[in-house]
Amino acid sequence: MRLIVDGQPIEFDAGDSALIAMLRAGIHPTGGGCLCLGGDCPHCLATVDGVSYTRTCETPARPGMIVERHPREGYPPLPLNNPAAAEEVKARNVHCDVAVIGAGDSGKAAAEEAERSGKRVITLDAKRGQEVVGVYPGPLVVARTPDGMLHVHPREEIIIATGAAEIQPVAPGNDLAGIVTARAASQLAAVGVPLGRVVAVGARPENAEATVADGQLIRFEGNGKVEAVIVRGADGNEKRIECDTVSVGLGLSPRDVLLRMGSGLAIRAVGNAAREPELPACPTSGVVCSCSGVTADDLQRVWDSGFRELELVKRATLAGTGPCQGSVCVPHIRSFLKERGGELQAPFTARPANRQPTLGEVAAGAHHRATPRTALDAEHRRLGARMDRIGGWWRPWNYGDTRAEYWAVREAVSIGDVSTLGKMIVSGPDALELLERLYPTQVSTIAPGRSRYVLLLDERGYVLDDGLICCDGASRYGLTFTSGGSSFAEMWVRDWAETWNLDVRILNQTMSLGAINVTGPLSKELLARAGFTRPMRHMEHTMATVAGVECRIFRLSFTGELSFELHHPAEQSAELWRSLMALGTDLGIKPHGIQTLLQLRLEKGHVIVGQDTDFDSTPRRIDMEWAVRLDKADFVGRQAVLRTNKAPLDKQLVGLEMDAPAPVEGAVIWRGSEYAGYVTSSAQSHALGKAVMLGWVKLFDGVLPTELTIDGRAARRVSLPFYDKEGRRARA
Amino acid sequence: MLALNRIHATRIVATPSALDSAQWPDDRLVFRIAADEALITPPMANAVVSDPYAIVVADSGFAGAWLPMEEALPLLEHACEWELPRERPAFAQGSVAGIPAKLWIEKDRVLLIVPAPFVADFEERMA
Amino acid sequence: MNEFQEKKIKFAWPEPKRSYDVVIVGGGGHGLATAYYLAARHGITNVAVLERKYIGAGNSGRNTTIIRANYGIPEAVRFYQRSLELYKHLEAETDRWIMHKQKGLLNVAHTESALRTERARAEVNTAFGAKTEFVAPKEIKEICPQIDLTGGNVWPVLGGSYHPEAATARHDRAVWAFAEGAMKRGVHVHQRIEVRGLTMSGGRVTGVETSAGPIAAKAVVGAVGGHVTTLASMAGVRLPIRTHPLQAYVTNHYDLQFDVIASSPGLLFYMSQTARGEMLVGAEIDRQPSYSYGSTYHFLQHCSHRAITLFPFMRSLRILRQWTGVCDMSPDYSPIMGKTGVDGFLVTTGWGTWGFKAIPAGGEQMAQLIASGETPELIAPFGLDRFASDRMMADRGSAGTH
Ligand SMILES: Cc1cc2nc3c(=O)[nH]c(=O)nc-3n(C[C@H](O)[C@H](O)[C@H](O)COP(=O)(O)OP(=O)(O)OC[C@H]3O[C@@H](n4cnc5c(N)ncnc54)[C@H](O)[C@@H]3O)c2cc1C
């Protein structure tokens, strides 16, 4: 069996990791540095099958696997065309009582103990391919495994049994190949990797032949590969011992990163992971952090500059910010700072990721915010609509010919999908009381069968939303909200009802009801053909059957033309839509999209909350004080409106017009050379033959300017609406 | 592939005690989707609860699909971060594949329910 | 590879005195820059900066380092453009390498309404001195060839805006440059001193209570980031600030091949490549207010998912490190700078998720205010009194990220 390293095939044995295979072939993955074979050091990282920074010690060798060593200088390239990585990774959720991380002796014991007391236990171990990425609030333990991500949800406890890492040598020459930790030496011997002459510094490797070098490690010598190790004996003399491999046993440091990462959770460490760290000797020379190439001299340099805190030393040298996350260097840096400053500083914050997952792995199980579709979605697409996300829904932006859509509304008849409107029923003995307190209008004067356009204000007197209140009797009302505002509005209404402890029932029907707006001078004719002939007054609503579908019909107008809004069970939307289209063919019916609707309402000067309003839009600023009854009892925002009305008005949303072409929405408005405001809505009016706009304009010395400049051209402030000033068409 | 169909139901909002004490025929599934709200399918035009202000409406705003348990479990293991209730039958609500969903779990099958406007996304995500 | 040679830097850590003219609470960028400009521009050097941990321990050492001026209202565009200019010259001024690099920032739009926002951004920026242009998908692909314009067939890119002067700088180095520059001129910077109370006398603030004893001051400046409401309440000042966590992460190091700062306000994520080759990815705040510095998997998961949607190559990069800061969010997404209504007590806050870029101008203007007693014109619109007087600086161009 062979894998490919830097283009060269090499043999491997069954059970080999990619690292062992490379070592058998005499290849050091990173050219040099003490190998630990335990996942702690950064010295076996390589690009495996297109994914860089892969720990080859924990990657089982596979036939045909492609290993590329990282460049010695600089970094691996961004994988800008990596087809291998296009595969979707899946995440699996598992639930248990106790999660044990580490299946060594202490982990096994902890798992058995928990199982004996009837707990559901899940044990994860990197040696079995389950690399724990992090421990998170939830609690959640995330692991990468060969067949996807594992999201472990332990109800009760997380037990860290990850053991201890071996302290790495810091001495000149520690970046040579041929240096391994004592445990690694045993493992390599066990699988028959040829080690040559082995010299042991410190604790000797188990089950491996080694000459013991008595004394303190001074340096390694060699050219690329270690040839000798120099130690200072008890007699103070340096001794040079020739060798092919140095085994280093300098003590243990607990693998407690996950424990520290999980602080605040029900988590504890057992076994070696819970031991006190052994502090290595203060480093005097050699590489301390091989991830960032930081030497003992660098530590001294930043110390001399005044970087005294462990965190600042880290930030100044970047030691500890590489793929091993400080597991190699932190013990040495702590030792250095203790020697210089006298104080043993706590290791720096443990941050995920403990083992580096790819973005593809981490994204597993994530989804984009889903964008809801109305029951008419297929109709729109069939009619060739360009769909856009509007107010959080997929809606038809246009059907290809906005001019035709426009004229169908103004001169004939058109239908539009307004199913996305927020729709709510409020019922109960306190229904009226709730609405009186929520809305700035006198709700009690809305008679059954009538509806009213309303603003919704927040406590600061700013406009939150707008919509309708329809009265169905003294204890039952229907409310509508804007498409984008409806989920917030639902929370708002429910929260206040609860806060005031009012006796009401609330049902949100937004997703259950479809709504079609039938608009245009021929809309009455179209409805008559659909079987509805009852006369309705403006702002009236009634129940009736239209083309066989039971509807609640509202007579109202947003487009400026005679209009009826048909609310009906969502499942009948398509049927109703098609019937209306068929019945209106010879009337010139066309559906209109949102782009056209925005222009139609702009010509009528109707405000779109969120587009024309800002976070600080009071009723006075949007020139809609008529919608606010300050003389009624308290309502949300009343105090604020009273207070803010005392200050002089500073800016107002106004109507503006100018010659074509229409400026872009957002264009800056000037009064001479002074900033006056900006345009919020703008369109070239087909009916009026000029550009019409809404925009914010500042008052100058208490006066709204009339003559303005936009895009270097003259614009005028005018009264609203632009179209059909007397409102005859809508009331026809 | 999962295919959801509109659920014909009656939706009732009433005081919790009125819903607690209501009697439902055995041939209906009654999901208590909130303390003050029940979803009943197939619909019951004549549903009665002891709350004069109850809102009782026909509803077709949800869609659902039955899945045999052995198909549902592996799907839910991926799509559902929360632990399914262990008793049977059980009703549960929460995010499934990032979409607000309701589950009715019987001994050997599961009814998956989502608001109809999310059906297309849900079917795609559960594929 | 160790490109960071700090040998030129010389920090001085004197013993604290019992009294200073000005005490600045918080050794983040804003506190240190205020101290620096007090000393460098106004010769006011009897100043102490008190930091409870180490300098830059807060958001100034945790941010995604984006410097831009493409904000949404004239007052903000002017202010941030000033800061952007100061950053350009900071290396020359302080003789310190802060790794400032002009990269350009691309905002992409996935909906008609987002296109409207980007158009509006370009308009107001151009009018007030920041360079921003509206760009079509084709231009976006030229500026950023790695982007998938189909957005994974889920979030197509319909257009956007490009702000060529946007830059990044190494956050720590900016903090150190101001700290050292201040120290060199005699300012005291004290680490590991926590302010625990404000001393009041005759209705004015006269000093601070600290973990190292009381320290008197003629003026106290609160520059404590996400912890500002606690500090201000000690002087009886209520601030309309909510503290929210904000997270970010970096991948491992890769060859420098991604030149621009790319951002999707709709998908709520943004990224750039650091000088060391890490891909640095950020997103929006955690919705739930909190002082927690804990990182969540939810953030990592969703932010990565969004990144892959627009940048499929990111899929096989490995994530190195994830972290969190706590942000002082104001209700109108604009900062709060200056007087508080209590004599002797000033604040510089409301820096939320966007205050790194503001460090030079914020420091400069606060220093001028302290030195002259008059609020400079550039920051007058950002006073705390705007909330009571209904003069919010509602800025959708800021709205929540970087
Ligand atoms: C993840 C993230 C990404 C960001 N990205 C960007 C970006 O791309 N661009 C941008 O412009 N901005 C960004 N920001 C925002 C930016 O980092 C902050 O607005 C800015 O750093 C604030 O600086 P500061 O000096 O006000 O606060 P900080 O840097 O937080 O400093 C406050 C200091 O006060 C200290 N302190 C607190 N309480 C006390 C006390 N009682 N006594 C003494 N000391 C105290 C703290 O320890 C801290 O050091 C980001 C923020 C985060 C968290």
> How close A514 gets to chain B, by Cα (Å)?
9
Tell whether the model's pLDDT for residue A113 goes beyond 90: yes
Query: Considering CB atoms only, which of A78, A308, A349 is closest to C313?
Result: A78
- Measure CB to CB from residue A306 to each of C10, C295, C394 and give the nearest one: C10
Residues B68 and B111 in one domain: yes
Task: Check CB contact under 8 Å for C111 and A390.
Answer: yes
Three-state SS for A378? helix
- Among B16, B33, B60, the domain-final residue is B60
CA distance A481 to A167: 64
Contact C396 A618 (CB under 8 A): no
Tokens (6 digits) for C337: 């700078």
3-state SS class at A62: coil
Burial class (CB within 10 angstroms; exposed 0-12, middle 13-18, buried 19+) of A456:
buried
Residues B75 and B117 in one domain: yes
B14 in contact with A, Cβ within 8 Å: yes
Q: For C297, name the nearest residue in chain A, comparing CA atoms only.
A: A136
| B127: amino acid identity, one letter | A
Q: What does the pLDDT look like over A293-347, one tens digit per residue? A: 999 999 999 999 999 999 999 999 999 999 988 989 999 999 999 999 999 999 9
Backbone angles phi, psi at C140, to 5 degrees: -60, -45
Give the list of residues 6+ apart from residue A728 with CB closer than 8 angstroms, or none: none
Mean pLDDT of A631-639: 95
Same domain, B41 and B72: no
Q: A331 CA distance to ligand 1 centroid (A)?
A: 29
CA distance A618 to A644: 8
Residue C29 Cα to ligand 1 midpoint, Å, equals 7
For the cut 50, the answer to whether the pLDDT of residue A356 exceeds it is yes
| pLDDT classification of A362: cutoffs 50, 70, 90 | very high
Quick one: pLDDT at residue C397?
72
Q: Do A151 and B122 touch (CB under 8 A)?
A: no
Chain A contact for C200 (CB, 8 A cutoff): no
Mutant choice from B15, B78, B99, B125 vs A, greatest count of A C-beta within 10 A: B78
What pLDDT does C400 receive? 54
Q: Do A353 and C322 touch (CB under 8 A)?
A: yes
Atom of ligand 1 nearest to the CA of C168: 8
Confidence tier at A556 by pLDDT (50, 70, 90): very high
C-alpha dihedral sign at B2, B3, B6, B8: negative
pLDDT exceeds cutoff 60 at B63? yes
pLDDT of residue C1: 37
Q: Write the residue in A294, A307, A667 that is nearest to C123 by C-beta.
A: A667
On the question of pLDDT at C195 being above 90, the answer is: yes
Q: How far is CA C353 from CA C52, C60, C176, C293, C326, in A?
A: 21, 10, 21, 14, 9
A→B interface, C-beta within 8 Å:
90-95, 151, 153, 365-375, 377, 393, 425, 427-429, 431, 475-476, 503-507, 509, 511-513, 569-572
The whole-chain average pLDDT of chain C stands at 95
Q: Which CATH number fits domain C19-63+171-240+332-386: 3.40.30.10, 2.60.120.1440, 3.50.50.60, 3.40.50.300?
A: 3.50.50.60
Q: How far apart are CA C189 and CA C49, in angstroms?
A: 5
Same domain, residue pair B53 and B90: no
Report pLDDT digits (tens) over A197-219: 999 999 999 988 899 998 999 99
- Lowest mean pLDDT, pick from A269-283, A512-526, C18-32: A269-283
Confidence category of residue A83, pLDDT binned at 50, 70, 90: low
Q: What average pLDDT does this structure show over C288-302?
A: 94
Q: What pLDDT sits at residue C126?
A: 97
Name the phi and psi angles at C289, rounded to 5: -60, 140
> What separation in Å is there between the alpha carbon of C31 and the centre of ligand 1?
10
Q: Please state, rounded to an integer, the average pLDDT across all residues of chain A.
A: 96
pLDDT in tens, A423-459: 999 999 999 999 999 999 999 999 999 999 999 999 9
CB contact under 8 A, A505 and B11: no
Of A292, A351, A666, the CB nearest to C116: A666
Cβ neighbours, 10 Å, residue A712:
7
- Ligand 1 centroid–CA C277 distance in Å is 24
Chain A residues near residue C277 by CB distance under 8 angstroms? 75
Distance CA(A40)–CA(A347), nearest Å, equals 16
Q: Pick the atom of ligand 1 nearest to C358's CA.
A: 11
pLDDT at C76: 97
CB spacing of B116 vs A151 below 8 angstroms = no
Of residues A93, A505, A509, nearest to B36 (C-beta): A505
> pLDDT tens digit string along A468-526?
999 999 999 999 999 999 999 999 999 999 999 999 999 999 999 999 999 999 999 99
Report how far ligand 1's centroid is from the alpha carbon of C180 (Å). Answer: 18
* Per-residue tokens: A59: 């990657």
B46 with B96, same domain: the answer is no
Q: Is the pLDDT of residue A560 over 80?
A: yes
Cα distances (Å, whole numbers) of residue A276 to A149, A256, A279, A289: 32, 10, 9, 22
**Domain hosting residue B31, numbered range:** 5-60
Would residue C372 be called left, alpha or beta, if left means φ above 0 and alpha means ψ between -120 and 50 degrees?
A: alpha
Q: How many interchain CB pairs under 8 A, A with B? A: 92
Pairing, β A8-11 against β A2-5: antiparallel
**Could you tell me if B33 lies within 8 Å of chain A, comparing CB atoms?**
no
Cα C58 to averaged position of ligand 1 atoms, centre (Å): 4
Which pLDDT band holds residue A82 (cuts at 50, 70, 90)?
A: low
**What is the band of A85 on the pLDDT scale with cuts at 50, 70, 90?**
low
- A-chain residues near C157 (CB < 8 A): none
Instruction: Chain A: give the shortest CA distance to residue B51, in Å.
Output: 9
Taking CB atoms and an 8 Å cutoff, what residues of chain B touch A368?
A: 98
pLDDT at A371: 97
For residue A336, the number of C-alpha atoms closer than 13 Å in the C-beta half-sphere is 30
Nearest to A359 among C4, C8, C304 (CB): C304
Mutate one of A51, A59, A78, A487 to test the C interface: name it (highest C CB count within 10 A): A78
Q: Is the pLDDT of residue C224 over 80?
A: yes
One domain for residues B119 and B89: yes
Q: Determine the length of chain B.
A: 127
Look at residues B27, B45, B60 and tell me which one is the last residue of a structural domain.
Answer: B60
Cross-chain Cβ contact A311/C253 below 8 Å: no
pLDDT higher than threshold 70 for residue C10: yes
Looking at chain A, which residue has its C-alpha nearest residue C122? A666
Where does a domain end: B60, B86, B103?
B60
Q: Which pLDDT does position B46 carry in this prediction? A: 86
**How many domains would you assign to chain B?**
2
Which run of H or of E encompasses A298? helix A296-305
* Location of structure tokens 């991380």: A101
Å between B72 CA and nearest CA of chain A: 14
Mutation test residue for ligand 1: of C107, C356, C364, C382, the one with most atoms within 8 Å of CB: C356
Sign of CA dihedral C197, C203, C207, C213: negative
Per-residue model confidence (pLDDT) at position A732: 82
Judgement on whether residues B52 and B95 belong to the same structural domain of the protein: no
Closest residue to atom 3 of ligand 1, CA basis: C63
List, in order of start, the domains of chain A with CATH numbers.
Answer: 2-85 (3.10.20.440), 169-249 (3.50.50.60), 372-420+512-606 (3.30.1360.120), 422-509 (3.30.70.1400), 648-732 (2.40.30.110)
**Residues B101, B68 share a domain:** yes
Beta-carbon separation of C116 and A611 below 8 A = yes
Which residue on chain B is closest to A395 by alpha carbon? B117
The residues lining ligand 1, judged by C-beta closer than 6 Å to any ligand atom, are C 25-31, 50-53, 57-60, 62-66, 194-195, 223-225, 227, 231, 246-248, 282, 325, 327, 351-357, 402
**Closest CA in chain B for residue A473:** B53
Indicate whether B122 and B98 sit together in one domain.
yes
- Taking a contact as any Cβ pair under 8 Å apart, which residues of chain C between 220 and 279 contact chain A? 251-255, 257-258, 267, 276-277
Q: Tokens representing A568? A: 């009906």
C253 alpha carbon – ligand 1 mean position (Å) = 25
Segment holding C76, helix H or strand E = helix C74-88
Judged by DSSP in three states, A38 sits in: coil
